[in-house]
Amino acid sequence: APQISRVIQRAALLKRVSKPWVSPAVGGKALVPGSGTPEPEQSLAHKTIALLFSKRSTRTRLAAETACLHLGGRALFLGTEDIQLGVNESARDSARVIGGMCQGIFARVGEHAEIEELARHSPVPVINALSSFWHPTQILADYLTLQEHAHLFPGSSSPSSSDALPELPPLTVAYVGDSANVLHDMLVTYPRLGHALRVASPPQPQYRAPTPVWDRVVELGCDKRITWVTDPREAVHGADVVVTDTWISMGQEAEKPQRLKDFAGYQVTEKLCREGGANPDWKFLHCLPRKQDEVDDEVFYGPRSLVFSEADNRKWTIMALFDLLFGKWDKTLLQ
Ligand code: CP
Ligand code: NVA
């Protein structure tokens, strides 16, 4: 938990310092070097980060590429069509070679075992940009977004200084949908940060967390603050925040007809949350990309939705991680 808080505080700082440079129109006037506004630290100067992506990405890739640029480094996008990995070369050899020339690896893979193999053989830190089991950089953006909107939740405390983020009161977070990578990081994070998690997924066993994920949840003692049900109305009861994700994750396209049947009734709507007794001021999060199956337009584009702040915050949180793990080599973050 202290490591998560540290990355998020760092992300908030980088956002504050960088935003005037990144978006010169913010505040109504363009900034020029030497105008007195501090520039982001160039902790990645002369460094190259390999973006090893075997699946599509909009947010994660853009966040990583633009974050590298603003920290003074270079991102090298390596898709499946670009390099030998997976066709002519093993993950073991690729990790060693890429890590011999770059200062960090940010990898989006299929099976989670693939990223473990990369990490085992890489001489430089490897960050998971999404695997079958986990999506750790997503929860950082989600949490920063909630902290930035802490004033919307009763009982939030003011920041200790003008530079600090406000603390969130203990929240009830509901997740309605598939037990996939995005939810799995919620399972191991919200309880550790003092929040209760209520999950609804269809009754079939394939929509429950896989054993290695649940073992980790239990190992961290997070299960004590998780309620898992099959009725979405029961899950959203008392919720301050409602979250969902696609019902058809990348690679599951062939299962689409069956999944649409199994998830019928799980779409997040105003009606569902009213009938389930969510907090009247509940807010909505979604990692994106979004389909209408899992959330209707009224919620997604409505005033409860924080989804585009959440998407923007992918950049600042990934920038903080790159800064701390690739820029300053703070190995305590890996422990
Ligand atoms: N949320 C997220 O990871 O989006 P991308 O797949 O576009 O990176
Ligand atoms: N669960 C989704 C998340 C996309 C960011 C997937 O794996 O496709």
Residue closest by Cα to atom 7 of ligand 1: 58
What is the DSSP pairing of strand 48-53 with strand 172-176? unpaired
Whether ligand 1 lies within 6 angstroms of the CB of 59 is answered as yes
Which ligand 1 atom sits closest to the C-alpha of 137? 3
CATH 3.40.50.1370 fits domain 2-134+312-329: yes
Domains 2-134+312-329 and 150-305 are alike in CATH topology: yes
Whether ligand 2 lies within 6 angstroms of the CB of 182 is answered as yes
Looking at residue 306, the DSSP 8-state letter turns out to be -
Please tell me the distance from the alpha carbon of residue 2 to that of residue 333, in angstroms, as a whole number.
9
If pLDDT is split at 50, 70 and 90, which confidence band does 229 have? very high
DSSP sequence for 143-197? HHHHHHTGGGSTTPBPPSSTTSPPBPPP-EEEEES--SHHHHHHHTTTGGGT-EE
φ, ψ of residue 181 to 5 degrees: the values are -45, -45
Q: Which amino acid is at 294?
A: E
Residue with token string 């750790």: 136
Q: How far is the CA of 250 from the centre of ligand 2 (A)?
A: 6
pLDDT of residue 35: 54
pLDDT of residue 18: 79
Which ligand 2 atom sits closest to the C-alpha of 180? 1
Mutation to probe ligand 2, out of 61, 183, 246, 248 (largest number of atoms < 8 A from CB): 246
pLDDT of residue 24: 45
24 vs 164, which has greater pLDDT? 164
Q: Are residues 52 and 118 in contact, defined by beta-carbon separation less than 8 angstroms?
A: yes
Q: How far is the CA of 141 from the centre of ligand 1 (A)?
A: 11
pLDDT tens digits for 206-219?
999 999 999 999 99
| H-helix or E-strand spanning residue 97 | helix 91-101
pLDDT of residue 158: 76
Give Cα 42 to chain centroid, integer Å.
24
Please tell me the distance from the alpha carbon of residue 239 to that of residue 280, in angstroms, as a whole number.
9
Which tokens belong to 48?
Answer: 């190259």
pLDDT reading at 31 higher than 70: no
pLDDT reading at 163 higher than 80: no
If pLDDT is split at 50, 70 and 90, which confidence band does 330 have? low
Helices (H), 23-90: 59-70
pLDDT of residue 36: 57
Please tell me the distance from the alpha carbon of residue 175 to that of residue 158, in angstroms, as a whole number.
27
Q: Where are the domains of the chain?
A: 2-134+312-329, 150-305
255 vs 334, which has greater pLDDT? 255
Please tell me the distance from the alpha carbon of residue 283 to that of residue 107, in angstroms, as a whole number.
31
- In angstroms, what CA-CA distances link 64 with 44, 69, 111, 126, 323? 12, 9, 21, 13, 11
Tell whether the torsion through CA atoms of 179, 182, 183 and 187 is positive or negative: positive
Whether ligand 2 lies within 6 angstroms of the CB of 183 is answered as no
Could you give the percent of the chain with pLDDT greater than 90?
82
Q: Which amino acid is at 329?
A: W
Q: What is the mean pLDDT of residues 24-33?
A: 46
- pTM value is 0.93
If pLDDT is split at 50, 70 and 90, which confidence band does 118 have? very high
φ, ψ of residue 105 to 5 degrees: the values are -125, 130
Whether ligand 1 lies within 6 angstroms of the CB of 58 is answered as yes
Could you give the percent of the chain with pLDDT greater than 70?
91
- Please compute Rg for the chain using Cα positions: 20
Whether ligand 2 lies within 6 angstroms of the CB of 249 is answered as yes
- In angstroms, what CA-CA distances link 104 with 127, 184, 193, 304, 328? 8, 24, 28, 37, 12
Q: What is the mean pLDDT of residues 20-43?
A: 56
Q: Which amino acid is at 45?
A: A
Closest by CA position to 291, among listed 249, 261, 258: 249
Residue with token string 């001489």: 123
If pLDDT is split at 50, 70 and 90, which confidence band does 27 have? very low
Contacts of 256 (CB under 8 A, 6+ apart): 248
Whether ligand 1 lies within 6 angstroms of the CB of 288 is answered as yes
Please tell me the distance from the alpha carbon of residue 138 to that of residue 143, in angstroms, as a whole number.
9
pLDDT reading at 33 higher than 70: no
pLDDT of residue 28: 42
pLDDT reading at 331 higher than 80: no
If pLDDT is split at 50, 70 and 90, which confidence band does 155 have? confident
Per the prediction, the chain carries an average pLDDT of 92
- What is the CATH architecture of 150-305? 3-Layer(aba) Sandwich (3.40)
Q: How far is the CA of 180 from the centre of ligand 2 (A)?
A: 7
pLDDT reading at 306 higher than 90: yes
Looking at residue 295, the DSSP 8-state letter turns out to be B
Q: What is the mean pLDDT of residues 91-98?
A: 97
Q: How many helices (H) and strands (E) does the chain have?
A: 12, 9
pLDDT reading at 161 higher than 90: no
pLDDT tens digits for 36-84?
555 667 999 999 999 999 999 999 999 999 999 999 999 999 999 999 9
Q: What are the residues facing 227 on neighbouring strands? A: 198
Task: Assign 131 to helix, strand or coil.
Answer: coil
pLDDT of residue 16: 85
If pLDDT is split at 50, 70 and 90, which confidence band does 29 have? very low
Q: What is the mean pLDDT of residues 303-315?
A: 97
Ligand nearest to the CA of 64: 1
pLDDT of residue 246: 98
Please tell me the distance from the alpha carbon of residue 18 to that of residue 86, in angstroms, as a whole number.
37
pLDDT of residue 2: 84
pLDDT tens digits for 99-111?
999 999 999 999 9
Closest by CA position to 145, among listed 166, 170, 122, 117: 166
